[in-house]
Structures are given as structure tokens and as C-alpha cells.
A and B are shown apart, each in its own frame.
Chain A
Amino acid sequence: MARKISYSQAINEALALEMERDDSVIVMGEDVCGGRGTDQPLDAWGGVLGVTKGLYAKFGDRIMDTPISESGYIGAAIGAATCGLRPVAELMFIDFMGVCLDQIANQAAKFRYMFGGKAKTPVVIRTTIGGGFRAAAQHSQCWYPVFTHIPGIKVVVPSSPYDAKGLLTTAIRDNDPVIFCEHKALYALQGEVPEDSYTIPFKQANIVRAGKDVTIVALGLMVHRASEAAALLAEDGIETEIIDPRTTSPLDTETILSSVEKTGRLVVVDEASGRCGMAADISAMVAQKAFYALKTQIEMVTPPFTPVPFSPVLEDAYLPDASKIATAVRAVLEQKKIPAAS
């Protein structure tokens, strides 16, 4: 029986192993150590959610606290990456991308192409995504589609401790800018994770569950919601196949397409907004490339087109869940519209 650790510990372990392996890897972010400038012991936080806790003891000043100054330090991480370091910058919440988007979208993403293939920007920006924490509209979003839209960036959305460690290791060793999206609701999730270092290639979807009736594509926390739905549906003899793309850019379209060619039916589940999001992107890709394999309509299970609400009753209604996913799967099987929410 392999050792079990949490998603959060898996990320911490990947960082530690890569820092041991390669001196050019540094970690920076707001309070990634914590307590600097006070008369109290350092490592006060290890990041706001404790993911980098303990790294300071091993790596000292390679764990760099920053002012609350996202444009400044995300830009510095990008600049340092072009000068031979491999910075891993933590952005506390993906919602804060608004204050440093230029450095990512116009600088890091463009250097290689714009400079004629001469630049290399091996930076990883670790950030948190997702709702369910009653953190409301500015601390709960799933903005990975924004970055998936931009050529020159790679985007990772791990759904398990095993994937988190392997994909982060790949991200740190990769020579392109990577946005690494950690779902807050998964940090405590336990799973089997090898102690040694390992990589998981980008653009390699994980078939989480095999089935013949309907393909469900889901990312991050939604992989788990889809699995719950699949268990419900299995009680009625409906066999769903769950595909977790793991990286949205590059996207493993082949695994999705071959699954749809087998099942003839597609439901895409995403916690991000449905408009111009991953659900729309994957649905369009399948409609374009596997239209003749489809037996029925494609369904998308996404939140309503609203900001993330605060009140628990509203947020619960906002988030996709197993029941909504099961309803969509049944609608696809019956070629009927999803009934309006009561």
C-alpha cells in the first residue's frame, strides 16, 4: 500500500524535491515564508493556505516573501526566468490576476514568439482557484480559461494529490510559462503519492473512469463531482466515462475525441463560467471534429452567468454538483432538454 498524503503536501513535496534538485528554482510570493520584518520566528504562514510551510527551514532565503505587489513580483519572477532562474511564484488567489495580468499575458506569454524564438521563460505561477469556501466574488473564481485563451502560456488544473505532484514537477522543469491552478477545496484531499520525484506529461488526459454510454469531461474539483454523479448513474445501469484533461493548454483533444467516438455522447462540466470557458471550448471542439460520432446534443454543466455569491445557500446553488451532472447525463441519453431548476 503506497503512502497517502494530501494534495497540499504533494505540492509542497514537489517544490522541495525540485529545489533540492536544481539550485535555480526559487519560491516567491506573499507570506510564502511569513513573518519577515517582525521580531517573531520566520515561516509564520508558509503561504496563506500553508502550502509552502516548512520550505524555509530547508531552503532559507530561496523562499522569498514579497510586498503585496503582484505586478511587481510576478514581473520580477518573469524577468528572473529570462535571466536563468526557475522561479515559482505564488499568487494567493487567481482572482488577483487582474493586477498582474499584463506581466503574464503581454510579457511572459509573448517573449518567445515576439523575440523570434530566442527567449526562454521558465516561470511557474502557482495560484488557487475555486468556490465552496464562502469567500465570495473576489476569492472564488476559476479563471484558467482566461489563460488558456492566450498563446504562449501552459495551464495546469490538477485534480488529485498524485497529479498535483507529478504535474508541478513537470511545470517547474518546463521551459515555458505555466499557470498552475490549485483548487482550494482539494488541499486536504488524501491520495496515494510516491515519495520519489516523478513527472506527468502535459497534454495527457487521465481517464478517471471508463464507461460506454456518455463521456463526461471535467477538471479540478469537478472531476470529483462527476465521479459522484457517475456512481449515482451506475445504480441505474448508466456507464459514464470521465475524462480529466489535467492541462487545458495544451489540451489532449485526442483522448476526448476518441472517448466521444466510442460513447457518442458528451457532457462537459466546469466550475468556470460557461461563456468562453473550457466547457464551451471543449464542446465546440467536439462538435467540429466529431460531429458525426455524436448521437445526441452536447450538454454543458456550468455555473449561472453571475459572480460567485457569498451566502451559503446561494453558493451551493451556484456550483455544479453531482445531481446537476446526473441530470445533464440523463438529458443527453434521453435527447431531452435539461429541466429548468425548480
Chain B
Amino acid sequence: MPKQWKKENLLKAYRTMREIREFEERLHIEFATGEIPGFVHLYAGEEACATGVCLHLDDNDKIASTHRGHGHCIAKGVDIHAMMAEIYGKKTGTCGGKGGSMHIADLDKGMMGANGIVGAGPPLICGAGLAAKYKGTGGVGVAFFGDGASNQGTVYEAMNLSMAWDLPCFFVIENNGYAETTSPKYTVPGVENLADRAKGVGMPGITVDGFDFFAVHKAAGEMIERARNGGGPSLLEVKFTRYYGHFEGDAMAYRSKDEVKKIRATVDCLLQFRNKVVSAEMLTSTELDAIDQDVKALVDDSVVKAKAAPKPPLSDLITDVYVSY
């Protein structure tokens, strides 16, 4: 697979996944100090999905994210310094400190928002697809949502609406195996693949291994191009797991102690990527190590700057409720 890739694209893919991993691993540490307010849901382990999908998109394309949104933000090009500052509740944050981890949005980058409501994104992305189609921008709308959200009526409604209106949309189920603590084996018994939900609305649906970046990238690419070329919406189920709890502070009593450890050592997306590109002699370990160092420095700097950044002034409390009053 890597043989068909341009080197610069491989470097970009690895760097994006590494940025997400480093960002999340660092938040795991920093959250434990008590300095970060509120809730934080980490995307570590799922990097191949956000990266594999968003590499096919540009600023003209829109994504709707979830409560576990940091990975989507980074993959869509949202500034890491501004994200970190937002998570610390600072004025320099993406949303001026008024959104926090669950509401990072950067509309200029086509990032329509992380979302605190499970299943809220897909209807919004139908709107993004509608606007793109109506204005003829050539853009697509991509909705990320979890296995838990796949049981929300909004997801079904949005998938069906996108078919009724023939919208340039793409739906991505991130099946990490746990809706908070509950397995799809309980909530969707007798269904092997959640991608089968696509049949109910007559759109294509496939399932891929979410630890395999190249598999996600290929499947997403085909479905996004199909949408972009007027072929209609489709559904991709990406199967993997998350490395941390539902939120930080979750003791994870619902998973075995060695589940994540074993996955990290065997099928981890960054590990697999590294092994594939190095064995195919497309990139060297030295090049990848250099990215690791670079990204570490970047995230270090983002934490230092976020901690030192000014808090929002109290006058911000009552601004920007409306465009006009």
C-alpha cells in the first residue's frame, strides 16, 4: 500500500496522527493535575479515522464532530495552540474560552464543532451538504459519530434525509466498542457490523479496521469522491477502540486490564503505520522519530502557552449571545 503514496503525503499522515496522539496523551497527564476545567474525552487510539478521512478534505468541506472531538479538529487543521488554550478556558482559545473541549469549532476550517449532544452532528451535516450542493461549491459534508450515537434517531433521520435530497454527505461511525460503558453487543444484539444500518436507507455501507490507516484512508477516499461527484451519500464503520475512558477520570471497570495494553503493543495505528512505511522503505525511522520530536515540542509549547494565556475578561460573559440585539 505505501508504495503508491507520495512521500510528503505519508509524512503528513503520520504527523497528523502523531499530533493527535501526543495532544491526547499530554491531556491525560495534564488533566490529572486538576488544572483543566470540566470534562475531557480523549481520542487516543482512534487517530487513523480522523486522519484517514480528513486527508481527503479541504477547508471547503465540512465536518461535524462529537464530544470526543480533538482528533477531528487536529485532522481538519484547527490550530493546536488555540485548541489547547480553549481546553484550559483561556481567551486565546479557539472559542475564546466559551466552548471548552466539547465545543471546539473553527468554521473557517470547515470544522462545524465538537458536540456535547450524542447524535446531534449528522442532521447539521445534511445542512452542510445541502449548502454545498445548492451553491455548487463542490464541497462535501462529513459526519463523525460513535457506535452509541448510531442508535439515536437523529442519525437515521440524517442518513435518510441525505438520500431523499441526494446530498454530498459521508457518514462515519467510529465504533470504539463502548458507548460510555456499554457494548454494541448489548445495544444492537445480533448485528455484526453497524455499517449494515446503511441498508435501511439504501446507501452503501462498509466496515473497516480502524487501526489500519491505509484501509480507512482508501475506503473513505472512495466514499468521499463518490459524494463529491454527485454519487450520493454512504456510510463507513470504523472499528477500533479508545485507549482511555469515556472521559478522563473514568476507572474503566467495564474493560479488562490488559485490553488496551495488548492493542497498543500489536495493532496500534501509529505502530502499524511505522512498520509498513519503514518496511516498504518509503520513510525511515529517523524521519519518523524527527516528527515525533517536533510534535512533542509543539504540544509542550501549546501547554506552556495555554497555562500562561489570559483568562477571558468578565465582560465576555454577556457578549456574542446574538449577532444583533
- A residues near B, CB below 8 A? 26, 64, 66-67, 69, 71-85, 87, 102-103, 106-107, 110-120, 151-152, 154, 174-176, 250
Partner of B99, one of A26, A69, A114, A154: A114
Tell me if A76 and B134 are in contact (CB < 8 A).
no
Tell me if A154 and B322 are in contact (CB < 8 A).
yes
Contact partners of B122 in chain A: CB under 8 A = 75
Interface flag for B269 (CB, 8 Å): no
What 1/0 flags go to B83-118 for Cβ under 8 Å of A? 000000000011111110001011110001101110
Give CA–CA (A76, B167) in the complex, Å.
Answer: 11
Contact partners of B127 in chain A: CB under 8 A = 75-83, 85, 87
Tell me if A82 and B130 are in contact (CB < 8 A).
no
Interface flag for B157 (CB, 8 Å): yes
Contact partners of A154 in chain B: CB under 8 A = 322
Give CA–CA (A83, B133) in the complex, Å.
Answer: 11
Tell me if A115 and B325 are in contact (CB < 8 A).
no
Give CA–CA (A83, B107) in the complex, Å.
Answer: 9
Tell me if A79 and B157 are in contact (CB < 8 A).
no
Partner of A79, one of B117, B124, B321, B324: B124
Contact partners of B277 in chain A: CB under 8 A = none
Tell me if B98 and A79 are in contact (CB < 8 A).
no
Chain B at the A interface: SS class: mixed
Interface flag for B123 (CB, 8 Å): yes
Give CA–CA (A66, B167) in the complex, Å.
Answer: 13
Q: Which of B93, B98, B323 has the most CB of A within 10 A?
A: B323
Give CA–CA (A114, B320) in the complex, Å.
Answer: 9
Tell me if B321 and A26 are in contact (CB < 8 A).
no
Tell me if B320 and A76 are in contact (CB < 8 A).
no
Binds A, one of B5-13, B43-51, B158-166, B216-224: B158-166
Give CA–CA (A176, B324) in the complex, Å.
Answer: 7
Instruction: Looking at the assembled complex, report how far the CB atom of A200 sits from the nearest CB atom of chain B, in whole angstroms.
Output: 15
Interface flag for B33 (CB, 8 Å): no
Give CA–CA (A317, B143) in the complex, Å.
Answer: 49
Going nearest first, the 6 A-B pairs with the smallest beta carbon separation are A79-B127, A75-B123, A72-B157, A79-B124, A117-B320, A116-B96
Tell me if A79 and B123 are in contact (CB < 8 A).
yes
Partner of B321, one of A71, A81, A120, A152: A152
B62, closest chain A residue (CB)? A83
